Amino acid sequence: MSNHHPEPGDLTLLVSQDGKHFLAKVEAGGSLHTHAGIVQHDDVLAAGWGARVNSHLDKPFTVLRPSIEEVLRTIKRNTQIMYPKEIGYILLKLSIVPGARVIEAGSGSGGLTIALARYATPGGHVYSYDVRPEHLAMALQNVELLGLDQSVTFHERDIESGFIEREVDALFLDVREPWLYLDSVQEALIGGGFFGSLVPTMNQVMRLAEALDRRPFAEVEICEITLRQYRTVPQRIRPLDRLAAHTGYLIFARSRFKGEPAEFNRERESRAAGRDRDRDR
Amino acid sequence: MSNHHPEPGDLTLLVSQDGKHFLAKVEAGGSLHTHAGIVQHDDVLAAGWGARVNSHLDKPFTVLRPSIEEVLRTIKRNTQIMYPKEIGYILLKLSIVPGARVIEAGSGSGGLTIALARYATPGGHVYSYDVRPEHLAMALQNVELLGLDQSVTFHERDIESGFIEREVDALFLDVREPWLYLDSVQEALIGGGFFGSLVPTMNQVMRLAEALDRRPFAEVEICEITLRQYRTVPQRIRPLDRLAAHTGYLIFARSRFKGEPAEFNRERESRAAGRDRDRDR
Amino acid sequence: MSNHHPEPGDLTLLVSQDGKHFLAKVEAGGSLHTHAGIVQHDDVLAAGWGARVNSHLDKPFTVLRPSIEEVLRTIKRNTQIMYPKEIGYILLKLSIVPGARVIEAGSGSGGLTIALARYATPGGHVYSYDVRPEHLAMALQNVELLGLDQSVTFHERDIESGFIEREVDALFLDVREPWLYLDSVQEALIGGGFFGSLVPTMNQVMRLAEALDRRPFAEVEICEITLRQYRTVPQRIRPLDRLAAHTGYLIFARSRFKGEPAEFNRERESRAAGRDRDRDR
Amino acid sequence: MSNHHPEPGDLTLLVSQDGKHFLAKVEAGGSLHTHAGIVQHDDVLAAGWGARVNSHLDKPFTVLRPSIEEVLRTIKRNTQIMYPKEIGYILLKLSIVPGARVIEAGSGSGGLTIALARYATPGGHVYSYDVRPEHLAMALQNVELLGLDQSVTFHERDIESGFIEREVDALFLDVREPWLYLDSVQEALIGGGFFGSLVPTMNQVMRLAEALDRRPFAEVEICEITLRQYRTVPQRIRPLDRLAAHTGYLIFARSRFKGEPAEFNRERESRAAGRDRDRDR
């Protein structure tokens, strides 16, 4: 990875002096139009990573290889997307490593799709379901921008009909009523496979927790992740005045072997409950 | 990855009915001694992933492939370690993908080392520095447990003498005074390379922010990540009574091309500061 | 209030050098037994507020007038109590000012009772209900310690039978199923009166929100308050490693005039909902 | 307090159906102009607390007695003001009860002034300092709106010249460099008196913590308070998408008796530090 210059076709992040981010595939003869002038791709290709180029208005831009985090923050979207704070944790909880086969539904704008595909490659694959063609089109566009289209298969399909793949390692649901699809989830997952979901409301958390509790799932975790960012001026370091307070609640579980009774799980949970202090009148 | 049974040598997670986690490399003829009895490895090897085995006391255990998150929570340690909530975000911010060459200091108990190596593999490599032999020994033991020893080189070396490698893609400092080593950081990083650090106190945040501000670094981010976990009993879903409030502040930056003046960075920062409301008397 | 010395009968806070807090009514001839020796009340009476006294083991203690916050943290309890972070906000939301007449149920250990009585005095009164004699005894003991017994009436009574008082200004429920008592709440509250409740689980939040929505209540607020404390050593300022993550969710509402239709409230709420972004598949 | 109707001169909160809040002193013959039409004060005076009145456009408004919290959210301001979440905690930490004599600087828009005066009354008094006439004018206007002008004395004076009052019970600094005034703080406070301050940046926290550490202050607390609000539609309860992340860090301390050596305090602090786990390389 450690070449010094962008090469034609490289995805490149250009940062203007006032901190605006532009993501572009640089090609000989191309150009990027910004609020601070036009940047010639040939100048970017000639500059080293980390160097500065100037627009035709003589405004400077820094040339950077985009991190996955920067890509996720910068890509086009037509739906709310998950943030890197959630996606990083999902990668570790679902153990998305090279070789992993993963299902997700829905595709949304492809933010999670990109991250899953980037970390399952080489050797793995992402199967991404959505019912809305406009979501699939946006997600495909973003996956192609990252050059990950060989690692993703999109299905325009309602998951009420179940999933097509079997014995996948992990499955993530970002849908309105995830509890409706848990039988299909268990059919698709390998024994012990990783399940995850994101839901924005308390009501959905309760419905999903109840549904998981009635089925052979283990290791249920419900959590939320908060990212608090600070102003970086050394003389005035302080939390930003406002923050994105809530993307959603994350719920994870492990699929148990078929035929294992749900009671096993429940028994353990109720013991755990006993350890936590109860409040009463 | 999708075989159905653990095979000899596989790292396996065994979960007891009261929720205790045991990490073991299962081998024919081996056994695991727990508070709930002895589990025979042969039973584990015969069980499917996600299935149940019983100890000699007839207590059930679930057999799971450990996620990276479960490994990070369960490995032995002799230092405070970073949590998955931080590590997942670090992976995305430092763009740790297959092929990445990464330096970290110190090695600590090897928690971050494992995650970096797992996600830089195949094709990448981690160079891990520590001055304490007991840390290096613990980190090596954990790296070997994951079978990642081919992907990590440990250096027993004080980083005051600088780093040995050059043109690495990313570099993470988990040391007491990271600001002392920023010249070495820039020598080791490729242009535009990813820098990150974790420090527990406000005082260290200020020292590091000042030092970054005087050097050609761009895209400085200071942040904290909070994980809030909930009780999962469906009838009583609520945040856990106590949570791990603070691991540390995370600071990230991008190395700029050598020779780029620091003023470029400062100018942008002071504009950003102007946008944020100032409080005064 | 500004006399310089404690007087006999004054509630006094003694702080040992290792930071332990002792609350005592100082009386001539009395003494306080601590892990750091015996402190003579006569020495405390002779010392000024803010001064130091020594125990018989020559260990120093600081003599302080206890703040309400210190009282709430230090009093004896046999139930989980609310924290000052919640109580301060409750005082402002329920507008507990001198002259206010307030009902609370249950009494618990009397933590909230003390705060309500202290701020409703002079001129106001607190009516505190509980079914458990041991709670009432503890709450009474704490109220007497603060010298507030003239401002509080305790009822050993199940609130299923309704409240005895009418036209109270504010009413707070810290009970397991607050939604069962909303008709009684409206009977007891004056028009426009202040209602508040604390519940620990999401399930209870939903039940109470539904019940409020079906009745003539306005200005419903659901919130949580977090207090994050920092280590104070100037060279190492940092958040405490662990914090009390969750006391409960607070719910507030205003009683509407009897006969006002609930639709008024619902209509407004659904508009507010439309302003907030919805996430979907 | 428990009369049923607003009376002429009463401060009244009118809430429109789309949730907008209007604060008005209702007078016979007066009127309130809103986006939803004109509301006649005579209609408000005729309505009961908690009842509904209609504007000339037939739009309904709810008539409520404003809580202190609603006043603090609704008053006019020309500076950033503190929020009820902080103010409630400050009241308990500084023990602002009837009879308390309190200094604050600066006056700002009078938000904290109102709360201090409301809770120190009857019998107490607030002395409020500011150097900017426009702040003092706004603060006075808000204090008069609440009818609290007999309980507040404003000083247009730079606190570099010290405070005029002596032996006050509590003192709060909301100024840019509070550490400059600690000698004056101790001169003004009674022995054991309550000190508090709000500062927005880490840099200020450190400067103030260092200055407190060098002087005879005890019981230093550094903290932050977060209020997380939820959407209240019963079918979709969830945290609001964005929240006010940061008002400032709160710092509290108790003035020690003059002549007590600062070492007393430092010794205790360093012991406390030893109990908290230190992170190192």
Instruction: Give residue-wise pLDDT tens across range A4-20.
Output: 889 999 999 999 999 89
Give Cα B78 distance to the centre of its chain. 15
In this structure, the number of other CB atoms found within 10 A of the CB of residue D241 comes to: 15
Q: How many CB pairs under 8 A join B and D?
A: 38
Q: Which chains have 3+ CB pairs within 8 A of C?
A: A, B, D
Instruction: Report the pLDDT value the prediction gives residue A215, as an integer from 0 to 100.
Output: 93
pLDDT band at A121 (very low <50, low <70, confident <90, very high): very high
Asked if the bond preceding B60 is cis, omega within 30° of 0, the reply is no
Nearest to C219 by CA among C264, C152, C172: C264
CB contact under 8 A, A118 and B99: no
Asked if residues A34 and A60 have their Cβ atoms less than 8 Å apart, the reply is no
pLDDT at residue A106 greater than cutoff 60: yes
Instruction: Report the pLDDT value the prediction gives residue D259, as an integer from 0 to 100.
Output: 57
Sign of CA dihedral D65, D68, D73, D78: positive
pTM of the full predicted structure? 0.92
Please name the helix (run of DSSP H) or strand (run of DSSP E) that holds residue B275, with its range, or none: helix B262-275
State the Cα–Cα distance between residues C171 and C185, nearest whole angstrom: 7
D8 touching C (Cβ < 8 Å) = no
Largest Cα separation within chain C, whole Å, is 73
Instruction: Report the pLDDT value the prediction gives residue C245, as an integer from 0 to 100.
Output: 63
CB contact under 8 A, B225 and A223: no
CB contact under 8 A, A281 and C202: no
Please name the helix (run of DSSP H) or strand (run of DSSP E) that holds residue C62, with its range, or none: strand C60-64
State the Cα–Cα distance between residues A143 and A90, nearest whole angstrom: 19
CB contact under 8 A, D206 and B205: no
CB contact under 8 A, D201 and A237: yes
* % of chain C exceeding 70 in pLDDT: 89
pLDDT band at C279 (very low <50, low <70, confident <90, very high): very low
Instruction: Report the pLDDT value the prediction gives residue B256, as an integer from 0 to 100.
Output: 86
- Name chain A contacts of D235, Cβ cutoff 8 Å: 203
pLDDT band at D277 (very low <50, low <70, confident <90, very high): very low
Mean pLDDT (whole number) for A47-67: 93
Asked if residues A94 and B65 have their Cβ atoms less than 8 Å apart, the reply is no
Instruction: Give the pLDDT confidence of D234-244 residue by residue, as tens digits.
Output: 999 999 877 66
B27 touching A (Cβ < 8 Å) = no
pLDDT at residue D21 greater than cutoff 60: yes
Asked if residues C58 and D32 have their Cβ atoms less than 8 Å apart, the reply is no
C233 touching B (Cβ < 8 Å) = no
Q: What is the mean pLDDT of chain C?
A: 89
User: Which position has the token pair 């938000």?
Assistant: D111
Question: From the list A237, A243, A246, which residue is nearest D245 (CB)?
Answer: A243
Give the residue with greater pLDDT, C259 vs D222. D222
Mean pLDDT (whole number) for A89-94: 97
pLDDT band at D77 (very low <50, low <70, confident <90, very high): confident
Instruction: Report the pLDDT value the prediction gives residue B269, as an integer from 0 to 100.
Output: 46
CB contact under 8 A, D201 and A243: no
CA distance B228 to chain A (A): 5
State the Cα–Cα distance between residues B51 and B34, nearest whole angstrom: 18
CA distance C232 to chain D (A): 6
A131 touching C (Cβ < 8 Å) = yes
Instruction: Report the pLDDT value the prediction gives residue B241, as an integer from 0 to 100.
Output: 77
Three-state DSSP state, D152: strand
B176 touching D (Cβ < 8 Å) = yes
Question: From the list D238, D241, D245, which residue is nearest A201 (CB)?
Answer: D238
pLDDT at residue A263 greater than cutoff 70: no
State the Cα–Cα distance between residues C218 and C38, nearest whole angstrom: 55
Burial label, B4 (beta-carbon count in 10 A; 0-12, 13-18, 19+)? middle
* % of chain A exceeding 90 in pLDDT: 80
- Helical packing angle, A133-145 and A111-120, nearest 10°: 40
Contacts 24+ apart (CB under 8 A), D19-25: D19/C268, D19/C271, D19/C272, D21/D70, D21/D73, D21/D74, D22/D61, D22/D74, D23/D66, D23/D70, D23/D71, D23/D74, D23/D75, D23/D145, D25/D145
C239 touching A (Cβ < 8 Å) = no
Q: Rounded to a whole number, what is the distance in angstroms from the first to the last CA of chain B?
A: 62
Mean pLDDT (whole number) for A165-191: 97
Q: What is the mean pLDDT of chain D?
A: 89
Question: From the list D227, D249, D264, which residue is nearest C52 (CB)?
Answer: D264
State the Cα–Cα distance between residues A42 and B260, nearest whole angstrom: 20
Instruction: Give the pLDDT confidence of C42-99 residue by residue, as tens digits.
Output: 999 998 899 999 999 999 999 999 999 999 988 888 888 789 999 999 999 999 999 9
C241 touching D (Cβ < 8 Å) = yes
Instruction: Give the pLDDT confidence of B100-112 residue by residue, as tens digits.
Output: 999 999 999 999 9
Question: From the list C79, C80, C205, which residue is nearest A202 (CB)?
Answer: C205
Asked if residues B206 and D209 have their Cβ atoms less than 8 Å apart, the reply is no
Pairing of strands C152-156, C125-130: parallel
State the Cα–Cα distance between residues D36 and D60, nearest whole angstrom: 9
Asked if residues D131 and D107 have their Cβ atoms less than 8 Å apart, the reply is no
A196 touching C (Cβ < 8 Å) = no
Asked if residues A105 and A173 have their Cβ atoms less than 8 Å apart, the reply is yes
Asked if residues C11 and C64 have their Cβ atoms less than 8 Å apart, the reply is no
CB contact under 8 A, D232 and C223: no
Please name the helix (run of DSSP H) or strand (run of DSSP E) that holds residue B18, with its range, or none: none
Asked if residues B74 and B23 have their Cβ atoms less than 8 Å apart, the reply is yes
DSSP B137-152: HHHHHHHHHTT-GGGE
Instruction: Report the pLDDT value the prediction gives residue C243, as an integer from 0 to 100.
Output: 67
pLDDT at residue D274 greater than cutoff 50: no
A122 touching B (Cβ < 8 Å) = yes
Give the residue with greater pLDDT, C173 vs B269. C173
- Name chain C contacts of D213, Cβ cutoff 8 Å: 234
Give Cα A14 distance to the centre of its chain. 22
Instruction: Report the pLDDT value the prediction gives residue D245, as an integer from 0 to 100.
Output: 63
Instruction: Give the pLDDT confidence of D155-169 residue by residue, as tens digits.
Output: 999 999 999 999 999
Per-residue CA distances from B130 to B103, B134, B179, B184, D279 (Å): 11, 9, 17, 15, 15
Of A76-85, B238-247, C141-150, C257-266, minimum mean pLDDT range: C257-266
State the Cα–Cα distance between residues C137 and C115, nearest whole angstrom: 17
CB contact under 8 A, B237 and C200: no
Mean pLDDT (whole number) for A87-105: 97
The reply to whether ipTM tops 0.85 is: yes
CA distance B280 to chain D (A): 6
DSSP C81-94: ---HHHHHHHHHHT
Per-residue CA distances from A79 to A174, C57, C278 (Å): 12, 69, 10
Asked if residues B217 and B224 have their Cβ atoms less than 8 Å apart, the reply is no
CA distance C207 to chain D (A): 8
- Name chain D contacts of A228, Cβ cutoff 8 Å: 245
Cα angle B135-B141-B144, degrees, rounded to a multiple of 5: 135
CB contact under 8 A, B279 and D206: no
pLDDT at residue D3 greater than cutoff 80: no
CB contact under 8 A, A225 and B226: yes
Helix ranges, C29-80 (H): 41-46, 68-74
CB contact under 8 A, D201 and A238: yes
pLDDT band at C244 (very low <50, low <70, confident <90, very high): low
CB contact under 8 A, C130 and A281: yes
Residues of chain B with pLDDT under 50: 1-2, 265-281
- Name chain A contacts of D246, Cβ cutoff 8 Å: 238-241
CB contact under 8 A, A92 and B68: yes
D203 to chain C: nearest residue by CA? C237
Give the residue with greater pLDDT, D197 vs C18. D197
Helix ranges, chain D (H): 41-46, 68-74, 84-93, 111-120, 133-145, 182-188, 202-213, 262-275
